[in-house]
Amino acid sequence: MALRHLLAGVAVVALTAPPALAQDTQQPQVQGDQMQVAQEDMDFATEAAQGGLMEVRLGELAQQQAKDEGVKEFGQRMVQDHGEANAKLMQIAEQKGIDLPQELSDEAQAAHDELQQLSGAEFDEAYMDEMVSDHEDDVAAFEDYVENAQDQDLRAFAEESLPTLQEHLELARQTQEQVVAAGDAEQQPDPSMAADEPTEGEQGFVSLEEVLGSSVVNENGEEVGTIEDLVIKDEVHYAVLSVGGFLGLSEKEVAIPLDELKLGEDESYLMSTETEGQLEELPEYEATQYQPYQR
């Protein structure tokens, strides 16, 4: 939730309120069936409700558009925890006649819409950056309110919420680190595409032309197939092998993860101990389920 303007709002009220009014708001007063609440307390309740609603909406978005499972789980945690906190705050507000927001503010909606345009790793990074920043602000604002609150019920709500917000902040930082580490790993060269002995001191990478037609042998030196193509599915690289048959007849194509192959000394590609028969038992390669490999 975003409470970045809470302290500024409190300061403005404190500086502009006449002395008589300031004295009148030291304690909540009964007015009809509802309690008169100090402006500072109403500001806190409003900002907390708006922020909590924002966390829920962004958490729902994370479950739909995040790539990293940790980010999705974090979003689910936000929906659950802030949803429960919002319900408690709404109960207190109804008792005190405070009208809490039910929809995102224009600023919050703009931030939501901006994140909604992102997906995958790009969304993960932007969302977790926002979560770390928001929860740093939230923890500081809730701690300050606990020290200065006039309404005892709202103070109790803030005190009860603080440990959860602090836990959220720590979890957000950990998840952010995982997202950054995953992004760095994706930018590293794919070892399955690198030659074992690169020339002139530089890491060599195989091209599609270099791979096509290469033989594949198992650890026993038995030829088990020929590489016919390189393809991608769910961001995983696959080699399409032709196996079986005689003189090109009755051949079958299968796809195996590219990281199961490594370049041998005789320019053949080595794989594990699978025999040709075991490869023939794999499901037949369906080109429509894969994307072309590009380098």
- Res 295: pLDDT: 56
Instruction: Tell me the two tokens of residue 284.
Output: 């037949």
Give the Cα separation of 227 and 246 in Å (integer).
Answer: 16
Report the sign of the C-alpha dihedral through residues 78, 81, 85, 86, in that order: positive
The residues spanned by each domain of the chain are 6-187, 195-292
> What are the pLDDT tens digits along the chain (295 aa)?
444 433 333 333 332 333 333 334 344 443 434 457 899 999 999 999 999 999 999 999 999 999 999 999 999 999 999 999 999 999 999 999 999 999 999 999 999 999 999 989 999 999 999 999 999 999 999 999 999 999 999 999 999 999 999 999 999 999 999 999 887 776 655 544 443 443 333 333 456 667 777 888 887 778 888 888 888 988 888 888 888 754 444 578 888 888 888 877 666 777 766 666 777 788 888 888 888 876 5
- Res 118: pLDDT: 93
- Res 24: pLDDT: 40
- Res 113: pLDDT: 94
E runs forming strands in 156-282: 215-217, 223-233, 236-243, 252-257, 262-263, 269-270
- Res 134: pLDDT: 93
Residue 138's nearest CA partner among 40, 39, 48 is 48
E runs forming strands in the chain: 29-31, 34-36, 215-217, 223-233, 236-243, 252-257, 262-263, 269-270, 291-292
- Res 97: pLDDT: 93
- Res 18: pLDDT: 36
Architecture field, domain 6-187: Up-down Bundle (1.20)
pLDDT in tens, 206-219: 566 677 778 888 87
Chain centroid to CA 18: how far?
48
Report the sign of the C-alpha dihedral through residues 243, 244, 248, 252, in that order: negative
- Res 197: pLDDT: 40
Name the strand (E) or helix (H) holding 141: helix 120-148
CB atoms within 10 A of CB 257: 13
Q: Which residues, in sequence order, are CB contacts of 284 under 8 Å at separation 6+? A: 252, 253, 254
Give the CATH H-level superfamily of domain 195-292: PRC-barrel domain (2.30.30.240)
CA distances to 7, 133, 161, 167, 171 from 84, in Å: 25, 22, 10, 15, 18
pTM: 0.54
- Res 266: pLDDT: 66
Judge if 6-187 and 195-292 fold alike in CATH terms: no
- Res 188: pLDDT: 58
- Res 263: pLDDT: 75
Cβ proximity of 290 and 257 under 8 Å:
no
Q: In the chain, how many H helices and how many E strands?
A: 9, 9
Chain centroid to CA 147: how far?
34
